[in-house]
Amino acid sequence: MEKDTLQQNFEGYLNTSILWHKADVYNIQQFDLEPNYTLKFDVKVQEQLRLGKLVERFVFHELNANDDFDIVAENIQIRDGKRTVGEMDALLMTKNGPLHLEIIYKFYLFDPSGGACELSHWIGPNRKDSLVQKLDKLKKKQLPLLYHSKTQIVLNNLKLNLSEIKQQVLFKAQLFLPFDYNEFPFGTLNPSCLKGFYLKLEELHHIEHAQFYIPPKGDWLMDCNADVDWMDFSDFQVEVSHWTHKKRSPLCWLHQKGKFSKLFVVWW
């Protein structure tokens, strides 16, 4: 990945808010990491990383530049013989003692018919995952991994006392509402995560007087900017229909009247 592209994605990551502020979501505590907006990402990344792995690199870069935290270990594989039980994202040493940190970065769309509570409305762009599913996985699988018997061996090698380790998550997300949705669906979650809207292929005529760009998935973190090859509406319709035909919902940029915004065009 090119240096300029990496920096733009890093800045997009920094500009993404945490999904909630208080420990009132499944009793999971958010990690308090104040974004360092002056920090440059000067780490070489040779291979094309999945978004989740790229975000981990960004988080570790932030932590290494912060005197309040020391990374004791990262991407810790917990094994039982030849079987991998699971992986912990990071063990840190903080001013308040050792910390097990899980790192999450997601894109969620608000489905008005999604359920009875606020959290159950948020789904992945292709309806393959949801916020509730991710929270369940954190609560029932990822965070309990710290207490697995095989994890104790790792903790002993790192000279960490299990009873002193706290657990937190750094859960960032970009959120999207339906096009022309006029309600405010935020109570528990952070409205600062709202990045744009979504619509269906047959609703595209509502935005036909704009310019469009479809970034590769590796650049989904990036904030919209003018320095891309913009498409007109007809070309955009053709391009985006290729994605939706394959039951893929692409993230797109919209430029209209001097303003930029992000949107998903959904296939469902």
**Which pair of tokens denotes residue 12?**
């997009």
Whether 166 contacts 100, CB under 8 Å: yes
Paired residues of 178 in beta bridges: 198
Rounded Cα gap, residues 10 and 37, in angstroms: 10
Kindly list the distances between the CA atom of residue 86 and the CA atoms of 104, 132, 151, in Å, as whole numbers in the listed order.
16, 20, 10
Q: Which residue has the higher pLDDT, 4 or 242?
A: 242
Residues 176 and 198 in one domain: no
**Pick from 145, 142, 99, 135: nearest CA to 19:** 135
Rounded Cα gap, residues 136 and 116, in angstroms: 17
| Other Cβ atoms within 10 Å of 131 Cβ, number | 23
Per-residue pLDDT reduced to its tens digit, 64-92: 999 999 999 999 999 999 999 999 999 99
Identify the domain boundary among 154, 186, 218.
186
Identify the domain boundary among 186, 203, 219.
186
Residues 203 and 153 in one domain: no
Residues 128 and 153 in one domain: yes
| Other Cβ atoms within 10 Å of 267 Cβ, number | 19
pTM: 0.96
Question: Which structural domain, as residue segments, surrounds residue 257?
Answer: 194-266
**Phi, then psi, of 134 in degrees rounded to 5:** -65, -40
Residue 48 has pLDDT above 90, yes or no: no
Per-residue pLDDT reduced to its tens digit, 88-144: 999 999 999 999 999 999 999 999 998 889 999 999 999 999 999 999 999 999 999
Rounded Cα gap, residues 9 and 218, in angstroms: 9
**Which pair of tokens denotes residue 116?**
């009875």
Terminal C-alpha separation, the chain: 32
**Which pair of tokens denotes residue 3?**
């240096």
Residues 41 and 122 in one domain: yes
Identify the domain boundary among 161, 186, 211.
186
Residues 163 and 124 in one domain: yes
Per-residue pLDDT reduced to its tens digit, 154-208: 999 999 999 999 999 999 999 999 999 999 999 999 999 999 999 999 999 999 9
